[in-house]
């Protein structure tokens, strides 16, 4: 039997998603907790691996099990064995052809910036901070250049191991909510540090250090070393994954309130 789960976590205390010896990771906490409910070792596959300090409201995973449990047991039972900064939000039985990563149609990330002259205290590790006044209109003008299918080599980490740098961005929007500036981006898939590198470029443009067309110029260079600063991880949230409707999975995460 294959089970899909919706996972939420505060990434501040984790060294990313993937299991690594000697470090605290989300996968490293989740698998032992699930194993206690399944009564056998469990290996999970996620929709998108997140880096150190990155959060998630709508991460999706799947695993295979021989254990027959009511769906609420995979939620509430597992949560009793998880630390406070990670939880299972829902569980569904899915067909054997479901795959959390390869069946995903698109993914959404949100980058949250506290835009104020004084740094935040309560938002430490959960928002990025930029003291420079950010021009949201200029950031949206720059974002428009990144829509569609492109080679995003200039927006991925130098150590990125993806076979192809080509990705399709369906939506990239920036909005202001009081002292917070939020960037939402949806794409078929993402490269390593892609969202944080886009955020870094748009923040420089929003601060008036570069013109809006700089985002297009960086894209055309296809060289990460000539791009902008990588924005810090604390402001990044994995919000949502879309799957074919036939799987009947919850499609929306709860809204993010800082």
Could you give the CA distance from residue 99 to residue 193 in angstroms, rounded to a whole number? 23
> Above pLDDT 90, what percent of the chain?
88
Q: Which fold has domain 106-238?
A: Alpha-Beta Plaits (3.30.70)
Give the lowest-confidence range in 7-16, 153-162, 165-174: 153-162
Q: Is the pLDDT of residue 256 over 70?
A: no
Per the DSSP assignment, residues forming a β-bridge with 62 are 4, 45
Q: Which fold has domain 2-103?
A: Alpha-Beta Plaits (3.30.70)
pTM above 0.85, yes or no: yes
Q: What is the model's pLDDT at position 227? A: 81
Mean pLDDT of 169-185: 97
Spatial CB neighbours of 127, under 8 Å, sequence gap ≥ 6: 112, 113, 114, 120, 180, 234, 235, 258
Q: Is the pLDDT of residue 254 over 70?
A: no
pLDDT digits (tens, 9 = 90+) for 221-252: 988 888 888 999 999 999 999 999 999 998 76
Q: What are phi and psi of 130, to 5 degrees?
A: -135, 115
- 2-103 and 106-238 share one fold: yes
The ranges assigned to domains in the chain are: 2-103, 106-238
Mean pLDDT of 196-212: 97
Q: Which of 10, 51, 179, 255 is flagged as catalytic?
A: 51
51 tagged catalytic: yes
């Amino acid at each position: 039997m294959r089970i899909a789960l919706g996972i939420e976590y505060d990434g501040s205390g984790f060294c990313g998603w993937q299991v690594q010896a000697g470090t605290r990771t989300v996968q490293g906490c989740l698998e032992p907790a699930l194993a206690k409910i399944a009564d056998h070792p469990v290996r999970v596959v996620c929709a998108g691996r997140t880096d150190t300090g990155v959060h998630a409201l709508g991460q999706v995973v799947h695993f295979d099990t021989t254990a027959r449990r009511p769906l609420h047991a995979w939620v509430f039972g597992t949560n009793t064995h998880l630390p406070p900064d990670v939880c299972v939000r829902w569980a569904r039985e899915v067909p054997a052809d479901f795959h959390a990563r390869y069946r995903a149609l698109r993914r959404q990330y949100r980058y949250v910036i506290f835009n104020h002259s004084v740094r935040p205290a309560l938002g430490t590790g959960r928002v990025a901070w930029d003291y420079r006044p950010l021009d949201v209109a200029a950031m949206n003008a720059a974002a428009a250049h990144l829509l569609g299918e492109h080679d995003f080599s200039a927006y991925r980490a130098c150590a990125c191991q993806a076979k192809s740098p080509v990705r399709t961005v369906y939506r990239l929007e920036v909005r202001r909510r009081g002292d917070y500036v939020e960037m939402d981006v949806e794409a078929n898939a993402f490269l390593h540090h892609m969202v944080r590198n886009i955020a870094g470029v748009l923040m420089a443009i929003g601060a008036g250090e570069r013109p809006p067309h700089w985002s297009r110029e960086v894209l055309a260079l296809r060289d990460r070393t000539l791009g902008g600063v990588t924005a810090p991880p604390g402001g990044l949230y994995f919000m949502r994954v879309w799957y074919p409707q036939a799987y009947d999975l919850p499609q929306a995460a709860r809204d993010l309130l800082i």
